[in-house]
């Protein structure tokens, strides 16, 4: 049975700038004089994992910080921003989800973020988590993207193989993870990842075409 796997919360709604704002507010809350510009943040998005980005940035400056605690603060701020600011689904997402369900396909959300961030995003979008047949988050596997573990875990839970699935990813690390799992991948960059090298994806789009996505999952 075809499966469509959304590869991050930012494939559902473009949260990238809210995430950057949350990082900067977290830095201030921890008394750090750091400020990630949009250009700075864009350069960091080739890989997944916010806590690691904080740790790497601290190391580059010779600063000794608790990256995990800073990231926890960032996540709490991000969840508040989602509730306060409001977000909308990205173009074609709602139609693609509805078309997959109507045709008897399966839906997955395969992220590297936390359970709480997933819940906050779905609440902000008024999407019931039950719409997804599998939700993979940072607690599901030990190896984050770009390792393929999260996708292999999703396929196992769904009882599907890679040939029946299509992944939708917004960053290069996510595309790498999907492709290494043997899954056809559509690149759907967000506003801060559009300059990435998405050549490993079967195509790069600005909006999802529900009919085309479902067709790819059957080919």
- Separation between Cα atoms, residue 103 and residue 6, nearest integer Å: 17
**What's the pLDDT band for 60 if we cut at 50, 70, 90?**
very high
**What's the pLDDT band for 43 if we cut at 50, 70, 90?**
confident
State how many domains the chain has. 2
Domain ends where: 61, 85, 109? Answer: 85
**What's the pLDDT band for 62 if we cut at 50, 70, 90?**
very high
Q: Are residues 93 and 200 in the same domain?
A: yes
Could you give the residue ranges of the DSSP H alpha helices within 50-171? 50-61, 67-85, 93-102, 115-125, 149-158
The pair of structure tokens assigned to 165 is 């699935």
Chain segment 181-203, per-residue pLDDT in tens:
999 999 999 999 999 999 999 99
The pair of structure tokens assigned to 14 is 């473009």
pLDDT at 140: 95
pLDDT at 49: 75
Residue that the structure tokens 């008394």 belong to: 31
Chain segment 119-162, per-residue pLDDT in tens:
999 999 999 999 999 999 999 999 989 999 999 999 999 999 99
- Separation between Cα atoms, residue 146 and residue 23, nearest integer Å: 22
Q: Are residues 48 and 95 in the same domain?
A: no
**Which helix or strand (DSSP H or E) is residue 19 part of?**
helix 16-29
Using CA atoms, how far residue 11 sits from 14, 15, 55, 188, 190, in Å, is 7, 9, 25, 7, 7
Q: What is the CATH number of the domain that holds 81?
A: 1.10.150.240
Torsion of CA 140, 146, 151, 153, to 10 degrees: -40
| CA-based nearest residue to 155, from 129, 175, 133, 139 | 133
Q: What is the largest CA-CA distance in the chain?
A: 54
Q: Are residues 163 and 182 in the same domain?
A: yes
- pTM of structure: 0.93
**By percentage, how much of the chain surpasses pLDDT 90?**
85
- Separation between Cα atoms, residue 99 and residue 52, nearest integer Å: 36
Q: Are residues 170 and 136 in the same domain?
A: yes
On whether the CB atoms of residues 8 and 174 are closer than 8 A, the answer is yes
Chain segment 84-103, per-residue pLDDT in tens:
988 999 999 999 999 999 98
Q: Are residues 78 and 178 in the same domain?
A: no
Q: Are residues 123 and 202 in the same domain?
A: yes
On whether the CB atoms of residues 193 and 171 are closer than 8 A, the answer is yes
pLDDT at 25: 98
- Residue partners of 120: CB distance under 8 A and separation at least 6: 78, 79, 82, 83
Domain ends where: 85, 113, 128? Answer: 85
DSSP for 88-119 reads -PPTTHHHHHHHHHHTT-EEEEE-SS-HHHHH
Q: What is the mean pLDDT of residues 44-63?
A: 86
Domain ends where: 42, 69, 85? Answer: 85
- Residue partners of 105: CB distance under 8 A and separation at least 6: 1, 2, 3, 4, 214, 217
Structural domain boundaries, residue 32: 16-85
Q: Are residues 9 and 34 in the same domain?
A: no
Q: Are residues 26 and 63 in the same domain?
A: yes
Q: Are residues 105 and 196 in the same domain?
A: yes
């Amino acid at each position: 049975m075809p499966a469509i796997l959304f590869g991050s919360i930012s494939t559902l709604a473009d949260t990238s700038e809210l995430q950057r704002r949350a990082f900067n507010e977290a830095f201030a809350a921890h008394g750090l004089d750091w400020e990630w510009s949009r250009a700075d943040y864009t350069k960091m998005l080739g890989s997944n994992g916010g806590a690691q980005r904080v740790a790497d940035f601290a190391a580059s400056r010779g600063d000794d910080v608790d990256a995990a605690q800073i990231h926890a603060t960032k996540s709490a701020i991000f969840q508040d921003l989602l509730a306060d600011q409001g977000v909308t689904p990205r173009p074609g997402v709602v139609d693609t989800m509805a078309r997959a369900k109507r045709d008897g396909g399966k839906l997955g959300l395969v992220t590297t973020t936390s359970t709480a961030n997933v819940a906050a995003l779905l609440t902000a979008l008024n999407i019931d988590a039950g719409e997804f047949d599998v939700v993979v988050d940072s607690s599901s596997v030990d190896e984050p993207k770009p390792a393929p573990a999260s996708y292999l875990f999703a396929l196992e839970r769904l009882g599907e193989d890679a040939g029946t699935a299509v992944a939708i990813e917004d960053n290069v690390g996510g595309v790498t993870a999907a492709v290494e799992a043997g899954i056809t991948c559509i690149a759907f960059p967000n506003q801060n990842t559009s300059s990435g090298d998405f050549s490993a994806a079967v195509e790069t789009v600005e909006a999802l075409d529900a009919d085309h996505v479902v067709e790819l999952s059957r080919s």
